[in-house]
Amino acid sequence: MSSSSPAPGQQQWYAGLPPKGERDLDADERAHLATLRREARREWILNHVAIAAILAGGVAAACFPQTRTFALPVVWTTILGLRSRRAQSLGRIRAFLAASLRDLERGRVLICGNDEVAIEVLPESDLLWSVNGARKYERVFVARGATAVVPDHAVMAANFLKPVNENVAAHQRRLSDDELGELRRHMPAVTFQRALLAVLGVAAIVAGLVGAIDIHGGMIVLAALGGFIAWRTIPPLVKTMRARMSIRRDVAERYAVIVRASGADTTIEFLPHSGILWTEDAQPARWRRVMQSW
C-alpha cells in the first residue's frame, strides 16, 4: 500500500478507474476512519488469540491424549469461527493499520470514475470510501494498478486498419518502451519452491517404483505421494514456462496486432504470441488496470 505517484509514462488506476481529483476528509469522515482503525486493531488482537488457542489445543492434543476430548473441539471451533467471520489476513490488517494512519495524517480522499460510476478511495490504504456518493461503512479494498500510458501512435495506427476478410480489419503497431517494461513485469515467475516440489515429486515416484519391486508397502506409498505432488505441481509449472516463453517472444518482437470486427465500434489490440488482450478502444485492458505489476 503506497500512494506514490506513478513514474513518467505510467497511468495509475483504482478498481480499473482513473483518478479525477481529490478532496479533504471532513471531521465526521476522520472519526469514521478512526473507528475503522480501532475495529481493525481489535480484529488483529482476536486473530492472534485465536491462533494461539489453535496452536495450544493442537499441542495439548498431541502431547497429552487425555486432553483431546476438550482440546480438539476448541481447535475446530476456533477454526470455524475464523472462517465464519471471513477474517482478513494478519498481513492485510497490519498493512491497513499502517497505511490508514498515513491516510488520517494526509486527510485526503481520491475521486475516481468514468461516465458510469464514481468511487472515492483512500490513497494510502486503497480503502473504498464511497460508491456514487454512498459511504461504505465496512473495510473493502480496491485493486490498484499502474499501466504504461497508451502511446499517441497507437491511436493513429488504429486509423489505418486494412481488411483481412469480410469480417475483420487489422493492422499492427510497435510497443513503446514503457509498454515493454510493463509486459516484462507481467511475465509469470517460475519460483524455486515450485520447481523443487516438481523435482521432488518425480524423484519420489522413481524411488517408490524402484522400491516397490520388493513389494515394500512404504515405498508404494512414497510413489503414490510423489505422483500426487507431481500431478499438483508439474502441469502448472509447464503452463507457467510456456507463458513465459510466449511473452518473451512478444517482448522480442515488440508489436501489437490491432483488430476491429466489421460493423463493431470497439477496437482491440492483442499480443501475437501470448494472445494477451492489450488495449480496448485505446485504453489499457481491464486486467492490466487492476494488476499490481509495478
Same domain, 121 and 217: no
pLDDT of residue 190: 73
Higher pLDDT, 38 or 46: 38
User: Which pLDDT band holds residue 173 (cuts at 50, 70, 90)?
Assistant: very high
Are 138 and 215 in a shared domain? Answer: no
Q: Are residues 54 and 169 in the same domain?
A: no
Predicted confidence (pLDDT) per residue in 60-94, tens digit: 767 777 676 666 666 666 665 655 555 557 778 88
The domain total for the chain is 2
In sequence order, which residues have a C-beta less than 8 Å from that of residue 72 and are 6 or more positions away? 57, 61
The DSSP 8-state label assigned to residue 152 in this structure reads: H
> Is pLDDT of 184 > 70?
yes
Looking at the structure, tell me whether residues 60 and 191 fall in a common domain: no
Range list of H helices, the chain: 27-63, 68-84, 90-106, 152-157, 177-185, 192-212, 217-253, 286-290
The answer to whether 161 touches 258, Cβ cutoff 8 Å, is: yes
Same domain, 289 and 214: yes
